[in-house]
Amino acid sequence: MKHALLLTAGLLFIASAAQAQDVPAGYPGTYSKLVADAKAEGSLRIYTNLSEDNIAPVIKAFNAVYPNIKVGSLEMGPSEAFSRYRAELGTGIASADLLISNTIVDWMSAVKDGLLADYTSPEREKLPKWSYPEPGLYTFSTDPMVTIYNKITVPAELQVDTMAAYFANISSRPDVFAGKVGTYDGRYAFGGALNYALVQKHGEKAWQWLEKAGPSIKPGGGAGGMIERTLSGEFSSAYFVSAPVVFSKVADGLGDIIGWNFPKDGTVVFPRGMGITAKATHPAAAKVFLDFLLSERGQAAIAAGKLTPYRPGFVAQGDLAYSLDEVAKAVGGKENLIIIDYDRKMIDGNAAFSARWAAAFKM
């Protein structure tokens, strides 16, 4: 009997210790129940515009801690992640447990329509307040926009690192830049948010830049296309290009042709949102995964996926790997970051803003 009691006590101690290992430091003791529920669910499903290169290191790091929770990720367009989830609601089809996407309009609509679970992560108080702007809405990564140049066709003295000097050069050096500058189309959601942020920072001065230089610029296409056209020489330069995409190209050996910089008078940063769906089939697994992403280990995995972590004090490891703190240091301080926020005015005033932007670009 004595041996049986000792054996039972030992087993209980081992089980208790195992549960304790599942609870990160600083988390409530009840978190072990959430982890147990997540393991019982065994999986979760993500709809996202992240590529395999972006998300694979994150899933690998998560499974190193939680090997019994399978993570499935479906890549699609930023708005498609929301439209597909909406279409599947109420159909009985297994849909997304977690959405990760960088589209301000769709996140605001999702919040308004109650599509997100109101979950308070144990990591939340360690994060900047702007990173969780609405109940259940968090930030996955903060992707800075850079200016790129073809180093062969653009003289070194014209590869400037401020937007003020950049737009001045486009206007004053048509021999280099006329018809050879790329950017996003400001009439659509992503490009519109970037331009809105620029105007919010610089006011009427930004409109003057755009109106003077706009006719020499060729908006349209995504980051990959802008980079390819700059590499080929079709473009001399492009601005508002996603830094993680640029860095992956430079890392592939194209740094001899492509030069880049963070604008020191305002680097626009696009937050990539994430949220657990209100009707998630695997809510516990989704919560554990989200908490992991917000932790230091998760932020390191996000950096490994070539994106920009933002947890205060975090330092990314490796060449061409930046945390948001490091970007801020590179541009002379946080005041020179333009972090796009979930501004209702941007959405409500979109028609008038788009019309003025189109007029500036003669479109």
**150 and 242 together in one domain:** yes
Tokens of 146: 């850079």
Give dist(CA 138, CA 124) in Å, integer: 9
**258 and 276 together in one domain:** no
Q: Is 324 exposed, middle or buried (0-12, 13-18, 19+ CB in 10 A)?
A: buried
**199 and 135 together in one domain:** no
In the predicted model, residues of the chain with pLDDT beneath 50 are: 2-20
**250 and 187 together in one domain:** yes
The C-alpha angle with vertex 327 and arms to 325 and 332, in degrees rounded to 5, equals 95
Provide the pLDDT for residue 169.
98
Provide the pLDDT for residue 21.
56
Confirm whether 138 is domain-assigned: yes
Q: Is 18 exposed, middle or buried (0-12, 13-18, 19+ CB in 10 A)?
A: exposed
Tokens of 265: 């008078």
The Cα-based distances of 93 to 87, 279, 328 in angstroms read 10, 12, 43
**How many structural domains does the chain have?**
2
**103 and 34 together in one domain:** yes
Among residues 227, 226, 230, 239, the alpha carbon closest in space to that of 265 is found at 239
The Cα-based distances of 246 to 29, 144, 192, 227, 239 in angstroms read 43, 11, 21, 7, 11
**212 and 126 together in one domain:** no
Provide the pLDDT for residue 252.
77
Confirm whether 223 is domain-assigned: yes
**166 and 252 together in one domain:** yes
**152 and 128 together in one domain:** no
Domain extent for 242:
143-269+330-360
Confirm whether 228 is domain-assigned: yes
Dihedral in degrees, nearest 10, Cα atoms 210, 214, 217, 220: 80
Confirm whether 19 is domain-assigned: no
CATH for 344: 3.40.190.10
**206 and 87 together in one domain:** no
**303 and 349 together in one domain:** no
Q: Is 318 exposed, middle or buried (0-12, 13-18, 19+ CB in 10 A)?
A: exposed
**264 and 215 together in one domain:** yes
> For residue 186, what are the contacts with CB-CB under 8 A and spacing of at least 6?
192, 194, 195, 219, 354, 357, 358, 361
Provide the pLDDT for residue 273.
97
CB neighbours of residue 175 within 10 Å: 8
**124 and 149 together in one domain:** no
Q: Which of helix, strand or coil describes residue 122?
A: coil
Provide the pLDDT for residue 18.
45
Confirm whether 56 is domain-assigned: yes
Confirm whether 7 is domain-assigned: no
The gap between the terminal CA atoms of the chain, to the nearest Å, is 87
Confirm whether 6 is domain-assigned: no
Q: Model's pTM, two decimal places?
A: 0.90
Give dist(CA 269, CA 291) in Å, integer: 23
> In residues, how long is the chain?
363
Helix (H), strand (E) at residue 89: none
Among residues 54, 113, 79, 80, the alpha carbon closest in space to that of 248 is found at 54
Confirm whether 23 is domain-assigned: no
